[in-house]
Amino acid sequence: MALDDEIAPSYNQLMLDIYVDETGKSLVLGYVADLASLPFVETAEYIYENETRQLYALTHALTGKSEDRWTFTLSTTAVYTDYQVVVYLPDEVRLGRITCSDGLEYLVSAANESFVVDLHGYEVANPLVTIEYQQPLTAPAEEGGSVGFDPGYFILIVLLAIVSLALIITFRRLKWRGGPGHADDSRADKEELQPTPEMARIMETLTDRERAIVTALLKHGGEMTQADLRYETEIPKSSLTGILRTLERRQILTKKDWGRTNVIELSDWLLSQTERR
């Protein structure tokens, strides 16, 4: 069920990568703001970092089997402004029906010896996903052997995920301090801009989300990438694009292509108003 943009609750994000092995066990890695919204963790082995809200879990609760048919089911009990889940299935499986709640879309592809089901949606309530698939019969494990995820492998994945998270956080902190790859290094070390009375009057005419965008741009010297702007303001991607278009029409900001994202800048006339002391 999609929610109207103006009545959506506070920002709530779910971003998971789920790796399913041939025994039906799932390795779950990612970010979840509300751990209680994932019923499967009640029976899972998991680590949850309260500060970063990162989840690392092993569970059999996401899959079920009837003869040679498997069903993967991910149910959640929350309203998500941003829902991003990627499910990796063994490459030898034969996919069946994929069912999603209203507001969710999916894309199927193949990568790294896996079938990949990429699910995403914005402002969805209690999303439910089921994926039906078949896989060929496999020989039983040798005596003394084991199948599924090795505990040591799980620990390695967790450590790699923590390192990756640390690198992402460090990159974000450095990016607007003149770090490499910035679209315009001449502004990267620019101090926060303080709005003049004229600018304050303009901001009074903006909506809360429009004002949040302009405030973030002022904080970063007048420009940010669209990706970082979304990260800082916590405005859903589907909403941010429309708001930026409105502000661009009002000549409050400009948008320039930069690789796979955009650089958002306060308009020159607005900066001239703001930078006048």
Q: What is the DSSP string of 139-184?
A: PPPPTT---S--HHHHHHHHHHHHHHHHHHHHHHHHHTTT-TT-S-
Tell me the mean pLDDT in the region 214-228.
88
Assess whether 115 and 193 both reside in one domain: no
Number of domain units in the chain: 2
With 90 as the cut, is the pLDDT of residue 74 above it? Answer: yes
- Classify 248 as helix, strand or coil: helix
* More confident of the two residues 239 and 265: 265
Model confidence, pTM:
0.53
pLDDT of res. 147: 45
Assess whether 127 and 158 both reside in one domain: yes
pLDDT of res. 6: 40
Assess whether 102 and 222 both reside in one domain: no
Assess whether 40 and 94 both reside in one domain: yes
Tell me the mean pLDDT in the region 214-229.
88
The answer to whether the beta carbons of residues 240 and 229 sit under 8 Å apart is yes
CA angle 218–169–255, rounded 5-degree value:
35
With 80 as the cut, is the pLDDT of residue 54 above it? Answer: yes
Assess whether 22 and 127 both reside in one domain: yes
Sign of CA dihedral 167, 35, 114, 261: negative
Assess whether 164 and 52 both reside in one domain: yes
Assess whether 77 and 162 both reside in one domain: yes
Tell me the mean pLDDT in the region 209-215.
90
Assess whether 30 and 78 both reside in one domain: yes
Assess whether 199 and 92 both reside in one domain: no
Assess whether 118 and 197 both reside in one domain: no
> Does any domain span residue 232?
yes
Rounded CA gap, 103 and 152, in Å? Answer: 38
The residue range of the domain holding 265 is: 184-275
> Does any domain span residue 178?
no
pLDDT of res. 2: 42
pLDDT of res. 150: 53
Element (H, E) at 198: helix 197-203
